[in-house]
Amino acid sequence: MARQGRAKNGWRTGSPHFAERVSQLSKKRQELIRPVYERPRDYVLLSIRDTAVNLKTDPATVLRIVRGMGFGSYRDFKAYLHELSVASATSLDGMQSNSHRDSSLITQGRKALDQDFENLQALRNTLDMNRLVALVARLYKARKILVLGGDLATSLVDYLEYSLLLLGFPVVAATAPGRTTHAARSMGKNDLVIAISFRRGLRQTVEGMEQARANGAYCVGITNTFVSPIARLSNECFLTPVEAYLSNSYAAPMSFINVFLTLVAQYRRSRILTILKKVDEEQRHGFRWYPA
């Protein structure tokens, strides 16, 4: 189970996903609750009475179903639905949720900036620096480091891999399905895997993480919701908001990575300074750079 503790709503991070919870019900009740599983955004704001009306049943039956799936109350269930709606949100959902369609482009741009600020503030308020320092210590002890991701998260994976490589760590990145499969297969005990994927989770990243963990690697997830398969499969998981009006915003995940790299550099400062002195010579006089 991922190290994230117990959420305020009472259900635990890394707990079974909705399909596993539904499988505990009778066939009849599985069919009854199916619309909620398929369209969580349509039900997340509804009372138990309104949900019962939509499902053509009564509130008592809805409550029995909710408890049969392992939730202590309907309130806990609604909190879980909220996370599901976050995980399953698409670019279209983000665009349609913007209620200020008639406002000016300047207003829209400012709202996008405000959303990034909100994401960064949420990260600042929730990031556990002690756990991050512990991860840095594990990074230094790792025999091999693998960074997994793909699709839009490829940019984050490449940035993290390049930065760790610059600091002298034995790191590789896998952002394509075939490379992910082969790289994950080679990971084992004393190796560290960092998987980056948001919302529902990219299949190649989730399956690569699953394979690496089965081989004994320590797996760290970076995602945006407790119900992500990345969170469930992680030995340890860090949440970074990606809310945006179109697709995902990576302001908070990039900030998280920068904080992590800062701690990596400061953890063994003398070692990193020795490496950076060599880097400095290349950056000042290397052939890659256009002469001033």
DSSP secondary structure, 26-56, as one string: -HHHHHHHHHHHH-GGGTTT--HHHHHHHTT
CA distance 4 to 61: 32
Q: What pLDDT, on the 0 to 100 scale, is given for residue 99?
A: 57
Please state, rounded to an integer, the average pLDDT across all residues of the chain: 87
CB-CB contact of 188 with 145 (8 Å): no
The average pLDDT across 175-184 equals 97
> What DSSP string runs through 143-212?
S-EEEE--GGGHHHHHHHHHHHHHTT--EEEE-SHHHHHHHHHT--TT-EEEEE--TT--HHHHHHHHHH
Bridging pattern class, strands 236-239 and 171-174:
unpaired
- The region of weakest confidence among 31-35, 136-140, 146-150, 172-176 is 31-35
Query: Which percentage of the chain shows pLDDT scores above 70?
Result: 88
Identify any residues that bridge with 172 across adjacent strands, giving them in sequence order: 146
Q: Over the stretch 211-225, which tens digit does the pLDDT of each residue have?
A: 999 999 999 999 998
For the domain covering 124-285, report its CATH number: 3.40.50.10490
Q: Per-domain residue ranges for the chain?
A: 18-88, 124-285
Q: What pLDDT, on the 0 to 100 scale, is given for residue 15?
A: 52
Task: Tell me the residue type at 111.
Answer: K
Q: What is the dihedral of CA 10, 13, 17, 20, to 10 degrees?
A: -70
CB-CB contact of 235 with 220 (8 Å): yes
CA-to-CA dists, residue 204 to 1, 73, 183, angstroms:
20, 35, 12
Q: What pLDDT, on the 0 to 100 scale, is given for residue 183?
A: 97
Please list, in sequence order, all residues whose beta carbon lies within 8 angstroms of the beta carbon of residue 112, skipping any fewer than 6 positions away.
Answer: 244, 245, 249
Identify any residues that bridge with 222 across adjacent strands, giving them in sequence order: 196, 238
Q: Which of 14-18, 34-38, 53-57 has the highest mean pLDDT?
A: 53-57
Tokens of 38: 């398929």
pTM comes to: 0.77
pLDDT class of 280 with cuts at 50, 70, 90: confident
What CATH class has 18-88? mainly alpha
pLDDT class of 58 with cuts at 50, 70, 90: very high
